[in-house]
Amino acid sequence: MKVPVLVTCQCGHTTEAWAGEEVTCQCGRRYATELTDQQRAVLTGLETQMRIFARLGTGVVGLFALGGFLLIDRWGGLAALIVGGVLWWGILQPIWRRRTFARLASLPPATVSPK
């Protein structure tokens, strides 16, 4: 997973990079943008949770639609598919995503020091 990093040099110049790259400022200072093991573990955990939540949503909406098809008819199944999709991806997933990003934002920032 690529993680964007913003490196601010002591001279005041700001450079955008990806974590793991080596950044050279205009003034000549070089910075290594490595993530700590703790930061990598948290990011991997959040990525896994997001994948699981998306797959869970697909399964729940699919079962909801299948139940509508079997218990009512094709129009009931279609309605169940639409209602389930709107509930899951329109309401529940944005709420969960906001909470996940808030938890990610609460982590301490990485410190990058010159080489």
Q: What is the DSSP letter of 11?
A: T
For residue 23, give both structure tokens: 């950044």
* pLDDT tens, position by position, 22-57: 888 888 888 888 777 877 888 888 889 889 998 999
The mean pLDDT of 57-68, rounded to a whole number, is 91
Q: According to the model, what pLDDT value does residue 110 have?
A: 67
Integer-rounded Cα radius of gyration of the chain? 22
For residue 74, give both structure tokens: 């094709």
Task: Indicate the pTM of the whole model.
Answer: 0.64
Say which amino acid occupies 60: V
pLDDT beyond 90 at 14: no
> Where does the pLDDT of residue 6 fall: very low under 50, low under 70, confident under 90, or very high at 90 and above?
confident
> Where does the pLDDT of residue 113 fall: very low under 50, low under 70, confident under 90, or very high at 90 and above?
low
